Amino acid sequence: MAGAARDARRAGRILRRAAADLGLRLASVALRPAYAIYLRRLRAEVARSRVPAHVAVIMDGNRRWAAQAGHADPGFGHRAGAEKALELVDWSADAGVHEVTLWALSLENLARPEDEVGTITGVATDALGALASGRRRTRAPVRLRVIGRRDALPASLRDAIDGAAALSRDDGAMTVTVALGYSGRDELLEAFRASVRELVTAGTPSDGIADALTADMLAAHLYTVGSSDPDLIIRTSGEVRLSGFLPWQSVYSEYYFSEAYWPAFREIDFLRAIRTYQQRARRFGR
């Protein structure tokens, strides 16, 4: 008797979820024409003003999106999030953004359960491999960089990173930087260590090292050397914090926090973020 009741409750949950999914799909179809009109207007509005040269994104909410959609496997969310990252590169190219930085995996994420870490790194390996092989193309040519602690990543992902380096080019392509195994504190610590080693090698006396350190010296040892600082940083999933993302580079960045989970982030959300950026006065501390 208890088993039958349990089966009935489970069947009820499945039916309710199916009905909700059907309702969302029908609503999506009904609103599609209005969405298309609004998207065209928003694109035109954004095109009339300055566009950030460099947009960085904290892609957050893959697991919660998957759970909300009724999927017990968080890998469903991570795979959808990887495809969304490629979509964002296309939106950025269409909008006139020249550089994109995507935080795909933090150093702290590597402490998650082993099976989930394997899924995340596997998704990243597949995505980089698809770009390097041409199986997945973006609308604009890209110059791909990967930053972070490579030594903390599995060998298969390190190999995919090496393969993606073949996408490096110097013909005006969009620069796409992917942060994997990245920690802002770790980046700064490594930059300080490298700067001190440089001074020691140059023969700087130990009691003069502190005074000899400069901001330019430290910046020359950051993972992002050669890139511009981000003009706009977007974080999804409703979290209002940076979590250690680009602490040195973001001092004068503008921020935009979206309630949408990353896989549900749409082009209109992206364009709204740019429009908000366009409405702000950037003074860089002056």
Give the residue numbers annotated as catalytic, written as ranges: 60, 109
What amino acid is encoded at 44 in this protein? A
Q: How far apart are CA 129 and CA 202, in angstroms?
A: 41
Q: How far apart are CA 93 and CA 141, in angstroms?
A: 9
Are residues 38 and 268 in contact, defined by beta-carbon separation less than 8 angstroms?
yes
Q: How far apart are CA 152 and CA 115, in angstroms?
A: 16
Tokens 């930053």 found at: 147
- Residue 197, C-beta contacts closer than 8 angstroms, at least 6 positions apart: none
3-state secondary structure of 91: helix
72-101 b/e (C-beta count within 10 Å ≥ 16 → b): eebbbbbbbbbebbbebbebbbbbebbbbb
Distance of CA 41 to the CA centre of its chain: 26
Residues for the chain: how many in total? 286
Q: How far apart are CA 60 and CA 163, in angstroms?
A: 26
Q: What is the dihedral of CA 92, 94, 96, 100, to 10 degrees?
A: 20
Residue 230: other Cβ atoms inside 10 A: 26
Are residues 254 and 279 in contact, defined by beta-carbon separation less than 8 angstroms?
no
Hey, what are 168's tokens?
A: 């490096």
